[in-house]
Structure 1
Amino acid sequence: MTPSYAEIIFSPILPEQSDLLIASLSEQGYEGFEEREGELLAYIASSEFDAKLLDALAGSLSVAYRISEVVATNWNANWESNFEPVTIGSFLHIRAAFHAPAGNTQYELVITPKMSFGTGHHATTQLMVTEMAKLDWPQKRVFDFGSGTGILSILAEKMGAKEVLAIDNDLWSIENAHENSRANHCNKIQLIQSDRPPASERFDIILANINAYILKEQLPTLATLLAPGGQLLLSGLLEEDQEAIELICTELTLQLRSVERLSGWIMLRLAY
C-alpha cells in the first residue's frame, strides 16, 4: 500500500516565520519542505502527524495553515516535474540527473531534487555559491553546517577542497546528500547526521546557510572552529537580521569582509 503524507500549507507567511517553522518541524519528524511566494509547504507521514503539536507551534508564530493528504509517489513526481536547472553566470550550472548537461559553465553539479534544502533556486544558495567563487579552495579543510542536499560541499570539493565535513540534523537530507555526492563523483566529503558542530576541529572555510535563529545560537562555536586566516560564510539571513548578527560577530572579534544581497536575503563573509 502506498504511504500517504500530511501536507500542511502555511499561508500567508513571512520569510522569518518560514525559517523558524522549518527548524522546528524538522525536529518533529517532518521530511520535506517547499517554499513558495508567501507560502510554506511541509510534509510528514500521516502516521507520524500530531495535530496538537502543529497547532501549538503555528499559534506561537501566529501563522494560519490548512491540511490535506497526498500520496507520496504523486508528491515526489510533481516536485520533480517542476524542478528546473539553475545557471549562475558562467560559473555554475545546477541540474537534476534527468536534465541534459549544459556544458558552458566552469562547474556543473547534478543535484537530485528530493525534499532537502539546496537546489540552487533559493536566493541564499545563490548568494553562497557566488561568494564561494571568489575564494581559494585547494588544500582547504571545509565545514558545511546544515548541508541539505550537499550542494555547497560538492562544489567545495570540485573547487579543490582537501576535505569536507558536512552535517545536517535531518536524516532525509544526509541520505540525499550521499546520493548527490556519488552522482558528482565526490570522495572527500564526510556526511554526518548531527545538529551540533564538532567540538575540537579547525577549518579553513566554514559554510553555514541555515537560519538566523540557529546561527545566533551557534556563532560562538563556529568562531572557535575557524582556523587562523579562515573564512566564515553565513546566509539564510534576511536583511533585517544583519545588525544582530554583526553585533555577535563583533563580540567574537570576527571582521566583516563582505556583504551581498539578493531578494531581501543577505550573505556575510567574516574572518579573524
Structure 2
Amino acid sequence: HEKTKMEFEIVIEPKMSFGTGHHETTHLMIKHLLELDLTAKSVLDMGTGTGILAIFAEMKGAYPIDAIDIDEWCYINTLENIEKNNCKNIKAYQGDASMLNDQRYDIIIANINRNILLNDMDTYNRCLNIGGKLLLSGFYTQDIPFIETRTKELGLSIAKTYTKNNWVGIQLNK
C-alpha cells in the first residue's frame, strides 16, 4: 500500500468549537491559503473557532498572527490548539471586529456568516494593507450577490471564488 505524502499536519482537539478541518468552509479557506505565499505575512483569523486556519497560516510561514473569536469556548480551545501544535507566532483574543483599531494585516481570514461578514467588511478593509488579501467564507452561493455588492462599495476586487456543496470561499484583493 502506498503512503500519502502530507506536507502539513495539524492536531486539533475541537471540544465545543467549530473548525475540525472537515467542514466545507474550512476546506475552502485552506484551499485559498495553500495557493498564497504566507512567508512573513501578517494574518488576522476572525471567527477562528479551533484556531485551525491560524495554525495552518503559521505552518506556511506567516507571522505575526492574531486569532479572534467571540465565543469563550473557541478562545480557550484555540489557546490549547496553539500549544498542541507548538505555534509561536499566534496571539488569541476573545472578542469581535470592534477590537480592531489601528492593526494592519497582509491577509485577513473571516470564516463566519453572511450577516457578520457584510457588517464587518468595512473594518476588515480598513485593517488590510494595500495589496492585501481578504478571504471570506461561511456563506452560500445564493449570498454571493450581497458579498459582491459590498466588495464593489469598498473598492475591493474579487480574485478567486471556490464553491463546495453550495458553500463559498472567496478571495478579495485590495
**Which structure has more strand as a fraction of its residues?**
1
Q: CA deviation at 1:199?
A: 1.0
Asked whether the equivalents of residues 63 and 90 of structure 2 are also in contact (C-alpha less than 8 Å), the reply is: no
C-alpha separation between the residues in 1 aligned to 2:11 and 2:67? 18
Q: Which residue of 2 aligns with 1:148?
A: 49
TM-score normalised to structure 1 length: 0.62
Matched residue type, 1:112? E
Give the structure with higher Rg (CA): 1
Equivalent of 2:105 in 186, 199, 203 = 203
Report sequence identity in percent.
43
TM-score normalised to structure 2 length: 0.96
Q: CA deviation at 1:254?
A: 0.2
Structure 1 pair 118–229 and aligned structure 2 pair: CA distance change class (3 A): same
C-alpha separation between the residues in 2 aligned to 1:179 and 1:146? 16
Cα deviations by residue, 1:210-256 (Å, 9 ceiling, x for unpaired): 00010010011111111011010000010011001110010000000
C-alpha separation between the residues in 2 aligned to 1:180 and 1:139? 21
Number of residues paired by the alignment? 171
Q: CA deviation at 1:113?
A: 2.5
**5+ residue gaps, structure 2:** none
Q: Please identify runs of 4+ aligned residues in structure 1 that moved more than 4 A.
A: none
Equivalent of 1:131 in 28, 32, 36 = 32
**5+ residue gaps, structure 1:** 1-101
Q: Which residue of 1 aligns with 2:10?
A: 109
C-alpha separation between the residues in 1 aligned to 2:163 and 2:4? 28
C-alpha separation between the residues in 2 aligned to 1:213 and 1:257? 21
C-alpha separation between the residues in 2 aligned to 1:225 and 1:152? 19
C-alpha separation between the residues in 2 aligned to 1:113 and 1:251? 37
1:159 and 2:86 aligned: no
Asked whether the equivalents of residues 135 and 171 of structure 2 are also in contact (C-alpha less than 8 Å), the reply is: yes
Matched residue type, 1:200? D
Q: Which residue of 2 aligns with 1:240?
A: 142
Cα deviations by residue, 1:39-83 (Å, 9 ceiling, x for unpaired): xxxxxxxxxxxxxxxxxxxxxxxxxxxxxxxxxxxxxxxxxxxxx
C-alpha separation between the residues in 2 aligned to 1:216 and 1:162? 27
Equivalent positions of 1:1-272 (< 5 A) are: 104-196=5-97, 197-272=99-174
User: Whose relative contact order is higher, 1 or 2, with alpha carbons under 8 Å and at least 6 apart?
Assistant: 2
C-alpha separation between the residues in 2 aligned to 1:223 and 1:264? 26
User: What RMSD in Å do the two structures reach over aligned CA positions?
Assistant: 1.1
C-alpha separation between the residues in 1 aligned to 2:100 and 2:122? 13
